[in-house]
Copies of this chain bind each other. A is one copy, B any other.
Amino acid sequence: MEEREISKAVIKRLPRYYRYLGELMENGVERISSGELSSRMSVTASQIRQDLNNFGGFGQQGYGYNVKYLYEEIGKILGLDKKHNMIIIGGGNLGQALANYVDFEKRGFYIKGIFDVNPVLKGLSVRGIPIHMLDDLESFIRDEQIQIAALTLPKSKAEEMTALLVKYGIKAIWNFAHIDLDVPSDVLVENVHLSESLMQLSYNITRYEKEHPRS
């Protein structure tokens, strides 16, 4: 496949394509035109063609897209054909919610352990995933070849923990703490800032109300 710079906007849409194609496969659909895919996804057909052309196309004139093939190719681009070992830092509600997502495993993300400082949680497990204390963190990351750490800690503890994770060799952090982490350039961070998402909604509500004043 040709290598070139792909825009962030395209990359952001890929997981959504992947999800839709997965649903089509589950429903036994073998091929689909960009037009059909477009009406399902509320994206224009030309946008879809353009997006997928970034990866060398996959479509055939008059045939459309082979659903399974496209699904697998997008999966490869997203790195979902590889196994990613993951830990969750923080055994609170959010950490447990993540541990309960079975879908992650289907996509190649294996949650190997949950870490917390609360001794009450020691020895417990969530969906068979054991909760460890922090003493075990360094050896666990090494022995279990952990690549990704999901950070579900309060903001106040997130920085210190990030320094520790980086020191122990973690290369990718899925950050739920409401703070921008300061990491070396070889450590990747993906943020999920829930407050900011809620503020987007609030912005849209405010704009909508301005545009549609109640009579």
Task: Give the number of copies in the complex.
Answer: 2
Asked if A15 and B192 sit within 8 Å, CB to CB, the answer is no
Knowing A93-B94, A101-B194, A178-B103 touch, does A79 contact B200 (C-beta < 8 A)? no
Contact indicator per residue, chain A 142-159, by CB within 8 Å of chain B (1) or not (0):
000001100000000000
CB contacts (< 8 Å) of A103 on chain B: these are 178, 195
- A interface residues, how many (CB within 8 angstroms): 57
Interface pick from A29-37, A46-54, A58-66, A202-210: A202-210
The 9 closest A-B pairs by CB, nearest first: A79-B206, A93-B97, A15-B196, A190-B201, A94-B97, A15-B199, A79-B202, A93-B96, A188-B204
11 further A-B contacts with Cβ under 8 Å, apart from A42-B180, A109-B202, A172-B201, are A16-B196, A19-B195, A80-B199, A92-B97, A93-B94, A93-B97, A104-B195, A147-B205, A172-B205, A186-B212, A188-B204
